[in-house]
Chain A
């Protein structure tokens, strides 16, 4: 389905992104746990994929064989992933309030099929590209033309398995595999450049045989265009390096990487809500 990106539609997607941020805030504040800042850097990426006409899916048929696949490899962004799946119609929004709670289904990190729409278990980093490549190979045997999208964290790209899979995906000419890196420049302990440098990042992907695109990871229109441009790439996998801001748009979260893995206090959450509504 083609999406006309007229100003009012983009406006609607921005409004949706704002509401998704509020969902995440409520989910994590209620349970006083969860990765808010890592979720906020990829809100627009997920909004573009699920609501911008990029992914082909049927929420009422999560195992539809011809669906495009989305794999959340940076599993700690589970809150925003669940919020997106709920708004996409995979399950009732009531599931969101069971985040990280015993006898509920919204696990701290996604577990495959625990909730409809979760394609893969994640939480130990580095698995997504490989699992997606398994789906790519399966699609060839089944003669299906679905695409596989994998959202990676930037720090996650320090895992050796990412580069095993990067080598293999190029070897298998997986041109229906599209990796997206949420490049928010921070990992748990601090700035990536200080803790374990990834640069020259785009060059690394190119050296492994990938087509590389870079984009402002908070510009929904640009993200949609970039993802669709990747459909034209033939004979090699693609990676979209999405430059993002961790914690966006909450000023005091953006300013302090130590918010990684932390929920906000009720007072902080109230302040964050105001900033989100004004952004």
Chain B
């Protein structure tokens, strides 16, 4: 079954395509935006900016460390650099530069990590980013945005530019179904969206796992379990209020992310829940492992990131309430 089908979500274009369009639109509106590329613009879809605004586009070559520090220099002069490559490449190769050149001074640099998660599939684990939330989470001052559909991607790109300070934006190669209408999507940094109401538990997802959570909620409804679903599009700062309300009002929480469980969204939410209103929790995400290469669907299945995995976690956590 297609992701989002159970929940009645319409299919959409690849997220990287939406990102490319959103960035081009942003460049048209804001002349301070410049784009840096690590020689992957046809893959990450920043190519459109290169074609329309060649003077504001810099291919730094296959040198991500250099790219991140150059972005810091541009930001220091008042520009808003969007530096983009595959998430695993730019974060791992540029980590020292992200720490020293960007995070420490809180510079206005936007890092776009494309091909986040495992769904890029066939290129295999070296091209995947299953640790990006943890890596950026280790950098104080960074805001972390994880769009879940085309509308949130569009909003996130513009919100990143509007926010003064370092931002990490996760993009993906794959399509994610529409969750919101393109012209009617609430998006405020640090404010989670409630995309389904429910009282028995809350499923908190980000990225592609929001659609999976909605599918899961539809299945659970058939069993008489009403799940609230939160789209946690901002991983830092987390929406404390929405998380505490979920714990207090539904009494159980399942988190779902296309990321390692270690250092991911779920562990940070768990800390917050433990500090405020402890309730039973379960965590859907990648166990301590790298994955094979393969079709996205097959990988999600093998590594436990399907709607059914969320359903099973939900049943467990609801049972644990009693």
Residues of A bordering B, CB below 8 Å: 65, 111-113, 119-124, 126-127, 130-139, 141-142, 160-161, 164-165, 167-168, 171
Contacts and interface: CB of A to CB of B under 8 A. Distances in A.
A165 B100 contact: no
Contacts of A134: 69-77, 81
Interface size class, chain B: 20 to 34
B77 to A, nearest CB: 3
Interface stretch (B52-60, B157-165, B168-176, B193-201): B52-60
Given A130-B101, A164-B65, 5 more contacts: A120-B101, A121-B104, A127-B72, A134-B76, A161-B97
12 contacts: A124-B99, A130-B66, A130-B70, A130-B72, A131-B72, A133-B73, A134-B70, A134-B72, A138-B76, A160-B65, A164-B66, A168-B60
B96 interface: yes
Contact of B76 (A112, A122, A161, A171): A112
Contact of A113 (B56, B65, B105): B105
A164 B104 CA distance: 22
A29 to B, nearest CB: 28
A112 B75 CA distance: 12
A174 to B, nearest CB: 11
Given A111-B105, A121-B100, A124-B100, A132 B73 contact: yes
Contacts of B60: 168
B78 interface: yes
Contacts of A136: 73
B153 to A, nearest CB: 26
Contacts of B79: 138, 141
Nearest to B72: A131
Contact of B100 (A113, A123, A142): A123
A165 B68 CA distance: 11
Given A124-B96, A161-B97, A138 B66 contact: no
Nearest to B94: A161
Contacts, number: 102
A171 B68 CA distance: 17
B77 A120 contact: no
A122 B100 contact: yes
Contacts of A139: 77
A127 B70 contact: no
B76 A127 contact: no
Contact of B77 (A121, A138, A161): A138
A8 B68 CA distance: 45
Given A121-B105, A131-B101, A135-B73, A141 B65 contact: no
Interface of B: 34, 55-56, 58, 60-61, 63, 65-66, 68-79, 81, 96-97, 99-101, 104-105, 107
A119 B77 CA distance: 10
B77 A168 contact: no
A161 B107 CA distance: 20
Shortest Cβ-Cβ A-B pairs, 6 listed: A134-B73, A130-B69, A138-B77, A112-B105, A164-B66, A164-B63
Nearest to A118: B105
Contacts of A112: 76, 104-105, 107
B65 A130 contact: yes
B101 A127 contact: yes
B96 to A, nearest CB: 5
Contacts of B55: 141
Contact of B70 (A121, A126, A133): A133
A99 B283 CA distance: 47
Nearest to A146: B77
A134 B109 CA distance: 12
Contacts of A168: 60-61, 63, 66, 70
A131 B100 CA distance: 11
A139 B70 CA distance: 13
B77 A142 contact: yes
Nearest to B60: A168
A134 B75 CA distance: 8
Nearest to B56: A141
Contact of A135 (B77, B99, B100): B77
B282 to A, nearest CB: 39
Contacts of B69: 127, 130-131, 134, 161, 165
Contacts of A135: 73-74, 76-77
A154 B173 CA distance: 42
B76 A120 contact: yes
B100 A137 contact: no
Given A120-B101, A121-B105, A131 B73 contact: yes
Contacts of A141: 34, 55-56, 79
A165 B60 CA distance: 9
A113 to B, nearest CB: 6
B254 to A, nearest CB: 40
Contacts of A120: 72-73, 76, 101
A140 to B, nearest CB: 8
B56 to A, nearest CB: 7
Nearest to B69: A130
Contact of B65 (A137, A138, A161, A167): A161
A213 B52 CA distance: 40
A111 B104 contact: yes
B97 A130 contact: yes
Contacts of B56: 141
B107 to A, nearest CB: 8
B33 to A, nearest CB: 11
A210 to B, nearest CB: 15
B81 to A, nearest CB: 8
